[in-house]
Amino acid sequence: MDDVYDGCSSQEDLGTDEGWAEEDFIDDDDDGPVSGGAPSSAGAEAGPSSSGKADTWRVMGMEQIKKLQVEAISHVTSLTGCSKAKALALLVNYRWNDERVLSIMADKGLDALYESVGLPTEAPHPAPATSGSEEVTCNICCESVAPNKASSLAPDCSHIFCNDCWKQYLSVGLSEGKGSQLRCMGYKCGAPCDFDKVMALLKGTLEAKRYQEALLQSYVDDNNTARFCPSAPWCGNVIVVESDPVCEPECSCSTVFCFKCGRSPHSPCTCEMWTKWDEKISGDSETRSWIIANTKPCPKCTKPVEKNGGCNHVTCKCGASFCWLCGEQTGMTHTWKSIEGHTCGRYKDELDKKISEAARSHKRYMHYFERYKGHSDSHIREKGRRQELKDRIAERMESGVDARDYTWLQQALHQLITARGVLAPSYAFAFFFFGNDMYKDDFDASTNTRNQNLFEDQQAMLEAEVERLSDLAEKCIAALVAEEEDHAAVQSLRLEIINRTVSVESRIIHFYNMVQELLDQLQTCSAHIAMYKPQKNVKIN
C-alpha cells in the first residue's frame, strides 16, 4: 500500500497535540460542515411554563455544535493538563458534561478519573528511537516496515504499529460506530488515539470524513443536553436544552417533539406512559390479549379456535379434536360432561374468570382509545382548517380585495390545535394512572377514585370549552371562505372567539396544574412531564 504521508520521516510528522483547532472538524476541501445542517435560528427560547419554570433551549446548526465541542475539550484540557485525546475520551464517557468530569477529578483525583474510563494513568514512555533506515516490526502483522510506514497514534503511549494495520483497525472501528472512542491497539493499553494523527493517517480517504462526522455527531448522540431534530425531511438542526430536559421544544423548522424520548409531543403523558400506549395502539396488544383469553390454539394446525358454546370437546376446521380446558388433543367420542380416554383437572371457573377479566380490560381500553382517536383526528382537521384559512387570507390580500387582520382567528385555530394535542394523550394518561398496574402501589381505592373524579372533571371542562371554540371557528371560517363573504357574521363572531380562545388556554393551565398535583402524590416512583407553555405572543406562521 502506498504511503499516505508524502515523505514523512517519523511519526512526529503525523501531527501534534497542539494542532487541534475548530477548523479541524471541516473537510480539507472546504465543503462546509461535515454533517449538513440548516443554520441556527437566533437562540430560540421557550416561554415560561404554567408551573413558573423557564424551560429554555437553543436551536443550533452543526457549525455551532462544533464550537461547543471544541470549547468543552479546551476547558477540560486547561484544567486537567491532559492531552486533548484524553479530554475527548473523558467527555465522551461522561456524556460531554465537562462539569461532571472536573467534579470527579476534584473529589477522587486525576488518576481515579482516568481509571474510571479505562485510560492509562502513567506518563507515556518515549517511543523507541529509530534511525532513518532501521525497520520497525509491527506487533500485529509481525511485518518489518520502514519507519515512515509505521506510527503511534496515541500521545499517551509509545506503541508503534504499521500504517496498514492501523488503517484496517480504524476502518473496523468506524464501521462499528466507535469513531469517538478509538483506542490504541496495544494489549491492555487503552490510550485514546489523537485526532490530528488519525486524520493525517486517513488523509484523502472516505474514512477521514467518517471520522470527522463521528466525532462531531458524538456531541449530540452522547450528550444528555443535545438532540437532533426528528423532522422529516430532516432539517439537520440540533436542539440544546439549558435547563430541564423534560420539555417539548420547537425547532426552527416548526417541528415540536419530546426532548427526553425524541417522540412526538405527548404531554401530559410521561415518556413511559407514551411508550406503552404506542405499543398498545401500534402492536394491537389488546386484540392479542382478547384472542389469548377467548381462543385456544389447535394442537394440530396451531390456528386459534373460539368456543361459542356447547361442551368442552372442540373440533377444529382441520379435523383435530381437543379439550377446551387444557388444550390437549383427544378422540371424537365424548359426552356433555366428559371425553372418552381423557381427564382434565382444570376448573371451569378459572377459565371463566380469565375470560371476564380480559373482556373487561379490553372494554376499558376501547373506552380510552376511542376518545384518544377522536381528538387525534380532530387535531388533524384543525390543522387543515388553519391551512385553509391561511390560503384564503393570502389569496384575498394578493388580490387587494381585503386587508383586514385575521390574526385573532389564526390564534384561535392555533389554540385549538394545541388543546387537541393535550386532550388526546390525556386519555392515555388516564388509562395508565387510574385502574392500571403502573401506579397501583401509590394509591388506595378511595384515593384513586377521588383523583380520577378530579381529573375527569377538569378534562370534561376543557373538552367543553374546546368544542365550543371549535364550533365558533368552523362557522367563522365557513362565512369567510364563502363565495360572497358574510362580513357581518364574521365580525359578530370575532369577540366571542377571542374570549373562548382565552378561556381554552385558562382551562389548559388549570388542567396541567391538576396533573402535576397528581404526579406529586406518587410515593414509590417519580414521574415528570413537559409542562404547558402559555401561547401568549405566539408567532403565527
Which residue ranges of the chain lie beneath pLDDT 70? 1-55, 122-133, 283-289, 292, 344-356, 400-403, 482-486, 535-541
Identify the pLDDT of residue 498. 93
Give domain limits for the chain: 136-224, 298-346, 350-520
CATH of span 136-224:
3.30.40.10
Amino acid residing at 282: S
Yes or no: say if 505 and 29 are a contact pair by the CB < 8 Å rule: no
Identify the pLDDT of residue 53. 46
> In 3D, which of 470, 307, 449 has the Cα closest to residue 377?
470
Identify the pLDDT of residue 287. 66
pLDDT digits (tens, 9 = 90+) for 245-256: 899 999 999 899
Beta strands in 114-257 (DSSP E): 136-137, 144-145, 150-151, 161-162, 226-228, 238-241
Same fold yes or no, 136-224 and 350-520:
no
Q: Which residues of 69-99 are buried (b: 16+ CB within 10 A; e: fewer)?
A: bbebbbbbbeebebbbbbbbbbbbbbbbbbe
Four-way CATH pick for 350-520: 1.20.120, 1.10.3470, 2.60.120, 1.25.40: 1.20.120
Identify the pLDDT of residue 193. 92
pLDDT digits (tens, 9 = 90+) for 72-102: 999 999 988 888 888 999 998 898 998 999 9
Q: What are the angstrom distances between the C-alpha of 452 and each of 51, 144, 430, 433?
A: 22, 77, 8, 9
> In 3D, which of 166, 156, 162 has the Cα closest to residue 191?
156
311 counts as catalytic: yes
Q: What is the DSSP letter of 152?
A: -
Which of the residues 165, 189, 261, 311 is marked catalytic?
Answer: 311
Tally of CB atoms within 10 A around 186 = 18
pTM for this predicted structure: 0.71
